[in-house]
């Protein structure tokens, strides 16, 4: 197991573990915060905490769910510190600002349209309540299974299924309203 | 609605397995119309972009170093990729040992004092590691170790049987730096405050005549304390150092006394402290990054002190 290899200090094992899980954590934060720099920072924090706690993880098979639980707790702490603001001021957004690629091709246009659709989705998600956003973030942004999402949210699998259906329905309605309102 | 929930889950699983949305929906007849908008919304959410490559590379490199500190290679055997190198090292070590013993026997037979025997030794330089300066500690071993606090640095610890350990860190960009309060060999009680090490620990494994290998000092530390309004140290707070003009940052947790130490390559930084139940703060006292002071960590300076005083949030008062 990869987690075991990291614990044994095998070279490159952590890199593999990181590559396998970093996008699901980052997408979770992207969806929840809608702030790219904050999502990057929180993603890094999650892995710092994961490294610190990896020695105490008993069931290594559940590393993915365990990692997203850390992400969930990190997000809660982040919002507590930020006074529950969804977007926190970050250094990058004010000063250094990582340069964005210039999209000057057909492929770039397609990506720009894709980004617009995603931003529309994320904006639509603002109409959802917190539990609904959380279930969508865990299930579809982070790609957790129903069982893993239930573990993070401390509820039954059936409750997750029900919640995700309602969340998707609300999201769809929000998007439709946004389109007809234009 | 349980049936619809399960039908949606079935559609998602089928799409995950390679089916098209229409193929997945076709299996649910009358419910397909109700399922379609849900499935479309779910699939759209799966298209969120991944972590950008530059951030990914920087973060992975820093975290890999932290992981290497926290989980050094175990003693239950080298990994396959390291086996050849370890084997070569063992052979070379054995040859050197035999040669050393032969030389020692020859020298001894020439009536040289026994105290000059080529015993593998760890020496403390200029007294920074406690004990007597230059004193040799026999039966010492050198191994990777976890420092007192986590952070983006690699660490080597020199330990002798029955003695406390001594740490020396290296920055993410290379270069050996300072010793922690635990960096005491021979003395019973560690010093109360941190001591920068002007000359790094020297480790020698050869005969006394062989020159010791001194490690270059290129990096510096930013260190200090995070306290609450009453001056009490805040444990487990996060201190982040953002290099001016870069998007990466160093991160470190405070110890029980609220103290932290971040090993950095010299440069200018903005620092931020975060702690549960307290308002986050940029140094010196700014709420936003734009109001943060730039702290210069110079290569000629052993350490730069930066302290934070965080006020409790309303619910924590």
pLDDT in tens, A14-37: 999 999 999 999 999 988 888 888
Say yes or no for a CB contact (<8 Å) between B59 and A47: yes
**Residue B226 backbone dihedrals phi, psi, to 5 degrees:** -110, 120
A38-49 tens-digit pLDDT: 899 899 999 999
Residue A147 contacts B where some CB pair is shorter than 8 Å? no
- What angle (nearest 5°) sits at the alpha carbon of residue A121, between those of residues A115 and A122? 90
**B5 Rama class: left (phi>0) / alpha (psi -120 to 50) / beta:** alpha
Mutation to test the B interface, candidates A45, A76, A95, most B Cβ within 10 Å: A95
Q: From the CA of B217, how many Å to the nearest CA of chain A?
A: 26
Residue A168 contacts B where some CB pair is shorter than 8 Å? yes
Q: Which residue, of A80, A97, A114, is where some domain finishes?
A: A97
Same domain, A85 and A157: no
Same domain, A132 and A49: no
Instruction: Output the six-digit token pair for B246.
Output: 């870069």
Q: Using alpha carbons, select from A114, A124, A39, A126 the residue that is nearest to residue A75.
A: A39
* A10 closest CB neighbour out of B59, B79, B150: B79
Mutation to test the B interface, candidates A1, A3, A5, A10, most B Cβ within 10 Å: A10
Residue B40 is predicted with a pLDDT of 85
Cα distances (Å, whole numbers) of residue B109 to B38, B103, B104, B207: 89, 10, 8, 16
A-chain residues within 8 Å CB-CB of B279?
81
B positions 211-250 inside 8 Å of A (CB): 238, 242, 245-247, 249
Same domain, A92 and A157: no
Instruction: Output the six-digit token pair for A46.
Output: 């999650």
Is B109 exposed, middle or buried, given 0-12, 13-18 or 19+ CB atoms closer than 10 A?
A: exposed
A53-112 tens-digit pLDDT: 998 888 888 899 999 999 999 988 888 776 544 333 333 333 333 333 333 334 555 555
Range of A55's domain? 1-97
Instruction: Output the six-digit token pair for B156.
Output: 């080597």
B-chain residues within 8 Å CB-CB of A140?
42, 45-46
B37 within some domain: yes
Q: What total of structural domains would you count in chain B?
A: 2
B65 within some domain: no
> Does A149 have pLDDT greater than 70?
yes
Higher pLDDT, B76 or A105: B76
Q: What total of structural domains would you count in chain A?
A: 2
Same domain, A131 and A176: yes
Of the pLDDT bands very low, low, confident and very high (cuts 50, 70, 90), residue A50 is: very high
* Cβ density class A53-63: b for 16+ within 10 Å, e for less: ebeeeeeeeeb
Mutation to test the A interface, candidates B40, B52, B53, B70, most A Cβ within 10 Å: B70
- Mean of the pLDDT values across residues B255-275? 84
Q: What is the CATH number of the domain that holds B280?
A: 2.60.40.1120
Q: How far apart are CA B154 and CA B218, in angstroms?
A: 14
Same domain, A70 and A150: no
Same domain, A71 and A137: no
Total CB pairs under 8 A between chain A and B: 167
Written as one string, the DSSP assignment of B224-266 is EEEEETTS-B-TT-EEEEEETT-S-EEEEE--TTSEEEEEE-S
Residue A85 contacts B where some CB pair is shorter than 8 Å? no
Q: What is the CATH number of the domain that holds A87?
A: 1.10.1740.10
Q: How far apart are CA B15 and CA A63, in angstroms?
A: 24
Same domain, A19 and A43: yes
B-chain residues within 8 Å CB-CB of A141?
45-46, 48
Q: Which residue, of A97, A131, A155, is where some domain finishes?
A: A97
Same domain, A117 and A79: no
B102-138 tens-digit pLDDT: 777 765 554 433 333 333 333 333 333 333 333 333 3
- Give the contacts of A166 (CB within 8 A, at least 6 positions apart): A132
Of the pLDDT bands very low, low, confident and very high (cuts 50, 70, 90), residue B91 is: confident
Q: From the CA of B46, how many Å to the nearest CA of chain A?
A: 5
Instruction: Output the six-digit token pair for A84.
Output: 């529950």
Residue B314 contacts A where some CB pair is shorter than 8 Å? no
B312 within some domain: yes
Say yes or no for a CB contact (<8 Å) between A27 and B67: no
> Does B181 have pLDDT greater than 80?
no
**B224 Rama class: left (phi>0) / alpha (psi -120 to 50) / beta:** left
- Mean of the pLDDT values across residues B274-287? 88
Same domain, A116 and A93: no
Residue A37 is predicted with a pLDDT of 85
B228-248 tens-digit pLDDT: 988 999 998 988 888 776 655
Residue B270 contacts A where some CB pair is shorter than 8 Å? yes
A-chain residues within 8 Å CB-CB of B55?
40, 98
Q: How far apart are CA A120 and CA A116, in angstroms?
A: 6
A-chain residues within 8 Å CB-CB of B144?
9
Higher pLDDT, A172 or B87: A172
CB A98 within 8 A of CB B51: no
How does the average pLDDT of chain B come out, rounded?
64
Mutation to test the B interface, candidates A110, A165, A169, A173, most B Cβ within 10 Å: A165
Higher pLDDT, B268 or A100: B268
CB B270 within 8 A of CB B289: yes
- Give the contacts of A129 (CB within 8 A, at least 6 positions apart): none
Residue B108 is predicted with a pLDDT of 58
A-chain residues within 8 Å CB-CB of B53?
none
Judged by average pLDDT, the poorest of A128-132, A167-171, B98-102, B235-239 is B98-102
Residue B187 is predicted with a pLDDT of 34
Same domain, A4 and A88: yes
CB B129 within 8 A of CB B201: yes
Q: What is the CATH number of the domain that holds A136?
A: 1.10.10.10
Higher pLDDT, B100 or B4: B4
pTM, two decimal places: 0.49
Of these ranges, A177-181, B85-89, B289-293, the one predicted with the greatest mean pLDDT is B289-293
Range of B303's domain? 220-316
Residue B71 contacts A where some CB pair is shorter than 8 Å? yes
B210 within some domain: no
- Give the contacts of B21 (CB within 8 A, at least 6 positions apart): B11, B15, B36, B39, B40, B43
Mutation to test the B interface, candidates A1, A24, A44, A46, most B Cβ within 10 Å: A44
> Does B225 have pLDDT greater than 80?
yes
Of these ranges, A27-31, B136-140, B191-195, B263-267, the one predicted with the greatest mean pLDDT is A27-31
Residue B307 is predicted with a pLDDT of 93
Nearest CA in chain B to A163: B5
Q: Which residue, of A70, A97, A124, is where some domain finishes?
A: A97
Q: From the CA of A98, how many Å to the nearest CA of chain B?
A: 7
A-chain residues within 8 Å CB-CB of B274?
81
Q: How far apart are CA B30 and CA A58, in angstroms?
A: 45
ipTM above 0.85, yes or no: no
Say yes or no for a CB contact (<8 Å) between B49 and A19: no
Judged by average pLDDT, the poorest of A68-82, B79-93, B265-279 is B79-93
Higher pLDDT, A137 or A172: A137
Same domain, A19 and A59: yes
Residue A114 is predicted with a pLDDT of 60
% chain B with pLDDT above 90: 11
* B51 closest CB neighbour out of A23, A83, A136: A23
Written as one string, the DSSP assignment of chain A is -HHHHHHTT-TTHHHHHHHHHHHHHHHHHHHHH--HHHHHHHHHHHHHHHHHHGGG-S-GGGHHHHHHHHHHHHHHHHHHHTTT-SS---HHHHTT-PPPPP--SHHHHHHHHHHHHHHHHHHHHTTS-HHHHHHHIIIIIS---HHHHHHHHTS-HHHHHHHHHHHHHHHHHHHHHHHHT-
Q: How far apart are CA B168 and CA B152, in angstroms?
A: 13
Quote the radius of gyration of chain A (alpha carbons, Å).
Answer: 18
* B4 closest CB neighbour out of A8, A165, A172: A165
Same domain, A90 and A142: no
């Amino acid at each position: 197991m990869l987690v075991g290899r990291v614990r044994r200090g095998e070279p490159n094992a952590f890199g593999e573990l990181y590559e396998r899980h970093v996008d699901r954590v980052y997408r979770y934060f992207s969806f929840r915060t809608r702030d790219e720099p904050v999502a990057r920072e929180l993603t890094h924090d999650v892995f710092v905490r994961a490294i610190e706690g990896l020695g105490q993880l008993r069931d290594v098979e559940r590393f993915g769910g365990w990692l997203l639980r850390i992400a969930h707790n990190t997000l809660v702490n982040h919002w507590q510190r930020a006074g529950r603001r969804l977007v926190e001021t970050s250094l990058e957004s004010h000063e250094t600002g990582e340069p964005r690629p210039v999209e000057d091709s057909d492929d770039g246009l397609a990506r720009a349209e894709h980004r617009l659709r995603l931003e529309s989705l994320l904006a639509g998600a603002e109409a959802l309540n917190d539990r609904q956003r959380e279930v969508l973030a865990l299930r579809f942004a982070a790609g957790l299974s129903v069982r893993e999402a239930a573990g993070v949210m401390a509820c039954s699998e059936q409750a997750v299924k029900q919640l995700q259906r309602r969340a998707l329905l609300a999201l769809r309605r929000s998007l439709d309203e946004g389109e007809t309102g234009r | 609605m349980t049936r619809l929930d399960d039908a949606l889950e079935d559609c998602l699983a089928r799409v995950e397995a390679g089916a098209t949305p229409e193929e997945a929906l076709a299996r649910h007849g009358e419910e397909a119309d109700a399922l379609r908008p849900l499935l479309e919304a779910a699939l759209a959410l799966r298209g969120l972009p991944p972590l950008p490559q530059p951030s990914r590379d920087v973060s992975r490199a820093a975290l890999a170093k932290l992981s290497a500190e926290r989980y050094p290679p175990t003693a239950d055997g080298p990994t396959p990729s390291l086996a050849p190198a370890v084997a070569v090292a063992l052979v070379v070590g054995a040859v050197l040992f035999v040669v050393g013993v032969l030389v020692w026997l020859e020298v001894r037979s020439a009536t040289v004092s026994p105290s000059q025997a080529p015993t593998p030794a760890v020496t403390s330089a200029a007294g920074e590691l406690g004990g007597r300066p230059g004193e040799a500690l026999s039966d010492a071993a050198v191994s990777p170790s976890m420092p007192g606090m986590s952070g983006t640095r690699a660490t080597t610890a020199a330990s002798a049987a029955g003695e406390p350990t001594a740490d020396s860190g290296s920055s993410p960009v290379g270069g050996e730096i300072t010793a922690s309060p635990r960096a005491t060999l021979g003395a019973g009680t560690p010093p109360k405050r941190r001591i920068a090490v002007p000359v790094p620990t020297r480790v020698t494994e050869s005969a006394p005549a062989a020159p010791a290998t001194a490690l270059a000092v290129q990096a510096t530390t930013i260190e200090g304390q995070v306290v609450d309004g009453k001056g009490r140290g805040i444990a487990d707070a996060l201190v982040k150092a953002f290099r001016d003009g870069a998007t990466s940052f160093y991160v470190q947790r405070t110890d029980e006394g609220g103290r932290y130490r971040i090993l950095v390559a010299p440069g200018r930084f903005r620092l931020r402290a975060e702690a549960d139940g307290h308002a986050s703060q940029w140094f010196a006292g700014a709420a936003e990054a734009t109001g943060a002071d730039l702290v210069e960590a110079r290569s000629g300076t052993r350490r730069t002190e930066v302290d934070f005083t965080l006020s409790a949030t309303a619910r924590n008062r």
